[in-house]
Structure 1
Amino acid sequence: MERAVVGQGAHIAAGSDAEAVARWLAEYRGSPKTLAAYRREAERLLLWLGERDMTLAEMRRDHLEAFEAFLADPQPSSRWVGPPRPRRADDWRPFRGPLSPASRRQSLVILQGMFAWLVEAGWVTHNPFRLMRDKRRRLDNRQGGIERYLEAPLWGWLWGWLDRPPEQGASARDRFEQARRRFVFGFAYLLAPRIAEMSAARMGDFRRREGRWWWQVVGKGGKSARIPVPPDMAKLLEEWRASLGLAGEPQPDDASPLLRALDGKRGIGDNRLYRLIRETFRGAADELESEQGEGARAWALRLRQATPHWLRHTALTHQAQAGVELRYLAATARHARLDTTARYLHAEDEAWHRQQSRHGLAERGGTRQGADATRDEPV
């Protein structure tokens, strides 16, 4: 195959794929979280191409299949997979592990947008993603219903476990960590924040106006929003502040971190918060199996699969099930599109299931099973 000429006819100042991608990333410098996510996916692709001595301009439709398979199983794992490390560390790796189907879709969505920009910039001549016949299914994140959430009974057990009083003789550190876990999970469940919003939250973001509490948050894309704080969250905040030795209500000018490290003063970052939540899920799964044995295996598996974003999905799903109107649910979620929020509505699934239960097999005695068993046979 004749090697593509890098950047021929380009409308950007770049001398390599890395420089061209850096120009694209610069478009997102106003949104640090988005920039970090896009840089991660672009870097993975560039490293993968580098292993094959290929350029972006040489990517074809069949390469996308190979790349998606690589995202699902980065091999050799010693070369690609490792724990979180500083980017310049010798043992830094691009992956923490294989990507889930949802994460692979998100990666392809990001890279599709990158290629579209590079085509407009004249750096490459075509976008291979446009040749994917099942592109809509593969690249559309607006899938059917949300599945990655904890059902109400499982959440009820989990919160009950988190809400247990400390054991007799627990150390000051154990008491602090238990109070922090309880607050983190309660905060996530009651207000449906993203993990970055939780780690960035300040005490003064909670403000009382005309007798009502609100949470002021700067979310995805730098958009500011104001979310109603329910009574349980106001009480949870008061209890968390008491565990830190603080007065019951924060002041509007209090810029100290909401979530604290073990010293009770410093904040905690996204990575530490992520690990804290995953560790809690795993600890809860172990406790559940210890308490209930073999019968709790399915629930324990769900807990071990859960990630911090499951808490947001759980919060929004349970709000929808509690009857919160779609417009208010969308405002809490801070979704730009109502059809994104509508994925959390499971009422139609339940109604469909009830209707379907009317259809059953005839029993040996000739009678029919199901809720509609007494219905007359059709003539």
Structure 2
Amino acid sequence: PRDDARWRPFYGPLSASSQRQAMVIVNVMFAWLVQAGYLAGNPLSLSRQRARRARPRIVRYLSPELWLEVKTYIQGMPVQTAREREHHARVRWLFTLLYLGGLRITEVGTNTMGRFFRRGDENGTDRWWLEVMGKGGKERLVPATAEMMTELGTYRRARGLPALPSPGEDTPLVLPVGRSLKPLTRAALHRIVKDVFNGAAQSLRARGEDHAQRADRLEQASAHWLRHSAGSHMADQQVDLRLVRDNLGHASLTTTSQYLHVDDDRRHRETDEKHRIDW
């Protein structure tokens, strides 16, 4: 814990990714000094180490099989007491936002239910959307699918609220257990997600050593893995990459294309079945 005297984040060398991030930050600071007229030039502008080749694909995601394990664990959470029922409803809604909406954990904490709105399409059909203020202050429209709106209504009713939010309503997207209407911090939301992943991992371990590797992977997962999982699963289902890009708020298709992969086991199986020499 950060309040522990033994917490020493800078003990030992920085990892390569941390070094690159530090160089990016220092470069931005130098660039600002140039723009402010304090320096004649940026000494880091000639550095070749700032460039970083993108990884060929996203690897921190949940396969459909692991995602099913997480959903099954959530469905089996205790609901005997009022507090347990409220927590269960909150967990289910939080994972809905992170997966169906592809939201970042900070976006869950900083946006409100009043950002849901209904708009008619060219055929006169009303469709729900969620306007998200995201990374870098950029706004994007996330499709609020019928499934998402059903889950929203279920969660709101569990909290004693009307099924649909009113325009401009300042109710946080996810609420604390109890009567408080204050938004949860990023750390609190992160802890909820990690607790679920750890619980699902323990359930896997209880089935035997054959499931230990999958349990290890679940224990490594974080909230951002759900966003990567959303992108990966949409790409696997052949959703147009331009649509995936806009749903997740990516700046370019280059970022989105990293989700173009299938599970390695499935890749091996289909290669074995369909790529043959047949001598």
Percent of aligned positions with the same letter in both sequences? 35
Partners of 2:70 and 2:196 within 8 A in 1? no
Find the residue that maps to 1:323 and give its secondary structure.
coil
Residues 124-180 of structure 1 deviation map (CA, whole Å, 9 limit, x = unaligned):
976358445x5433xx5x32100010111100111121123635xx22112211211
Q: Does 1:237 align with 2:164?
A: no
Aligned length: 271
Q: CA RMSD in A?
A: 3.3
Q: Does 1:310 align with 2:225?
A: yes
Alpha-carbon deviation of 1:188?
A: 0.4
Find the residue that maps to 1:136 and give its secondary structure.
coil
Q: For structure 1, list consecutive stretches of 5 or more residues without a partner in the other structure.
A: 1-81, 359-369
Q: Does 1:279 align with 2:189?
A: no
Alpha-carbon deviation of 1:112?
A: 3.3
Residues 41-77 of structure 1 deviation map (CA, whole Å, 9 limit, x = unaligned):
xxxxxxxxxxxxxxxxxxxxxxxxxxxxxxxxxxxxx
Q: Which amino acid aligns with 1:144?
A: P
Moved more, 110-119 or 181-190: 110-119
Q: For structure 2, list consecutive stretches of 5 or more residues without a partner in the other structure.
A: 121-125
Where do 1:17-28 residues align within 5 Å? none
Take 2:164 and 2:5, find their aligned partners in 1: how far apart are those partners?
Answer: 44
CA 1:333–1:104 in structure 2 vs 1: closer, same or farther (change >3 Å)?
A: farther
Take 1:287 and 1:124, find their aligned partners in 2: how far apart are those partners?
Answer: 60
Alpha-carbon deviation of 1:270?
A: 1.2
Structure with the greater alpha carbon radius of gyration:
1
Question: Which protein, 1 or 2, shows the higher relative CO under an 8 Å CA cutoff with sep ≥ 6?
Answer: 2
Take 1:281 and 1:97, find their aligned partners in 2: how far apart are those partners?
Answer: 28
Q: Does 1:372 align with 2:276?
A: yes
CA 1:179–1:340 in structure 2 vs 1: closer, same or farther (change >3 Å)?
A: same
Take 2:127 and 2:214, find their aligned partners in 1: how far apart are those partners?
Answer: 37
Partners of 2:24 and 2:50 within 8 A in 1? no
Look up the match of 2:92. Answer: 182
Look up the match of 1:152. Answer: 64
Find the residue that maps to 2:51 and give its secondary structure.
helix
Q: Does 1:202 align with 2:112?
A: yes
TM-score by length of structure 2 reads 0.83
Take 1:228 and 1:250, find their aligned partners in 2: how far apart are those partners?
Answer: 16
Residues 215-253 of structure 1 deviation map (CA, whole Å, 9 limit, x = unaligned):
011111211221111121111111111110111111113
Partners of 2:197 and 2:221 within 8 A in 1? yes
TM-score by length of structure 1 reads 0.63
